Amino acid sequence: MNPAGVVSGGRQLLAADPVTGLGHLLGQPFLQHALAAGTAIALLSGLVGYFVVLRGQVFAGDALSHVAYTGAIAALAAGVDLRFGLFAGTVLVGLLLGVLGGRAGADDAVIGVVFAWVLGLGVFFLAYYTAHASTGNGAASARVLFGSILGISRSAAITAVGIAAGLLVLLAVIARPLLFASLDPQVAAARGVPVRVLGAGFLALVGATAAEASQAVGALLLFGLLAAPPAAALRLTSRPWRALALSGGLAVAAVWLGVVLSYAWPVLPPSFTIMACSTAEYLLAAGWSWTARAGWPARTSQHSVAR
């Protein structure tokens, strides 16, 4: 999975003292690209993910991550840039889910039926691509599914950072009304917030985020950056803006830690270490809130009363 030369680099990182080891790490161009693109993508995913969780649209995010796979493989089969298929597919389906879902949000059975078929289409394109392309068939599929942050080129990293910056600006513009519409849609609608347009636009934004994130951690491991950091942030604080910032920060921390860990132990693929770090963050946050007696005990007592 990792580029050649990582093995010796990893040994140096383990052998040398932390400061020289880290200096050596940052001197590697492919790691600079990975960290630059990873930071931008993680920040975007963490912030967007907070709204996804707040609005109860995790399942829709799940569906969009599967669309990302089909989009990328379709682009490969058609012989165009992979990212073109990624963004076109996810943004389009995101908009579609937002428009079709209407006020109540798309039915989970409908989402399930649609995304099973979209994945089936992905299988079709994969078979077509495998039959017609001369090189790298199985590896390409695995790369789209599980990502390869250490394999990001300089130009791809610059593009990823640029797109992430653009999407972050977009999120900053709609953040206030979106938070309002997420927390209390009725009151927001009464106060003149265009709730439906905002909802559809937001799902398109989630689609674009899914396309960005699948370049780093792969289409299937999106939840490491989209669901785990906000879940951890919600354990730690109940204030919206603070949780939003925390979610972004935790996602970035998971990527940094994950990249360093994967560099130190090349046996572990970076997508796995990033995912493991964000899961560990959530477990730590849940443990902390458990000891602080906030959240879960209140809900369980409510349950025992109902019974």
Partner 1 sequence: MTVGFDWNLVSDVREILSFHFMLNAMRAGTIVAVVCGVVGYFMVLRRQSFAGHTMAVIGFPGAAGATWLGVNAGIGYFGCCVLAALVIAALPGGGRAAGSTGANSEESAVIGTLQGFALACGFLFVSLYQGYLSGLTALLFGSITGITDAQVLVLLVAGVFCLAVLAVIGRPLLFATVDAEVARARGVRVRLLSAGFLLLLALTVAGTSQVTGSLLVFALLVAPAATAMRLTARPGLGLAISVTVAVLVTWLGEGIAFFSPYQIGFWVTTLAFVGYLLAVAGRWLADRRLVRAPGTPLPAVPVR
Which residues of this chain interact with partner 1, rule CB under 8 A? 1, 53-56, 58-59, 61-62, 66, 104-105, 108-117, 119-121, 123-124, 126-128, 131, 138-139, 141-142, 145-146, 182-183, 185, 218, 220-224, 226-228, 230-231, 234, 267-269, 271-272, 274-276, 278-279, 282, 296, 299-300, 303, 306-307
In this structure, which amino acid lies at residue 231? A
**Residue recorded with tokens 């599980």:** 146
Comparing CB distances to partner 1, the nearer of 113 and 172 is 113
Comparing CB distances to partner 1, the nearer of 119 and 158 is 119
**Residue 54 beta carbon to partner 1: minimum distance, rounded to whole angstroms:** 7
**Residue 102 beta carbon to partner 1: minimum distance, rounded to whole angstroms:** 11
23 touches 260 (CB < 8 A): no
**Residue 221 beta carbon to partner 1: minimum distance, rounded to whole angstroms:** 5
Comparing CB distances to partner 1, the nearer of 18 and 307 is 307
In this structure, which amino acid lies at residue 286? A
Comparing CB distances to partner 1, the nearer of 22 and 190 is 190
**Residue 127 beta carbon to partner 1: minimum distance, rounded to whole angstroms:** 5
**Residue 169 beta carbon to partner 1: minimum distance, rounded to whole angstroms:** 25
**Residue 154 beta carbon to partner 1: minimum distance, rounded to whole angstroms:** 25
**Residue 32 beta carbon to partner 1: minimum distance, rounded to whole angstroms:** 24
Longest Cα–Cα distance of the chain, Å, equals 64
**Residue 27 beta carbon to partner 1: minimum distance, rounded to whole angstroms:** 26
Here the tokens at position 232 are 């951890």
CA-closest candidate to residue 57, choices 177, 189, 207, 212? 207
273 touches 258 (CB < 8 A): yes
Comparing CB distances to partner 1, the nearer of 4 and 131 is 131
Q: DSSP assignment of the chain, as one string?
A: -PPTTHHHHHHHHHHS-HHHHHHHHHH-HHHHHHHHHHHHHHHHHHHHHHHHHHTT-HHHHHHHHHHHHHHHHHHHHHTS-HHHHHHHHHHHHHHHHHHHHTTT---HHHHHHHHHHHHHHHHHHHHHHHHH-SS-HHHHHHHHHH--GGG--HHHHHHHHHHHHHHHHHHHHHHHHHHHHHH-HHHHHHTT--HHHHHHHHHHHHHHHHHHHHHHT-STTTHHHHTHHHHHHHHH---HHHHHHHHHHHHHHHHHHHHHHHHH-TTS-HHHHHHHHHHHHHHHHHHHHHHTT-SHHHHHHHHHHH-
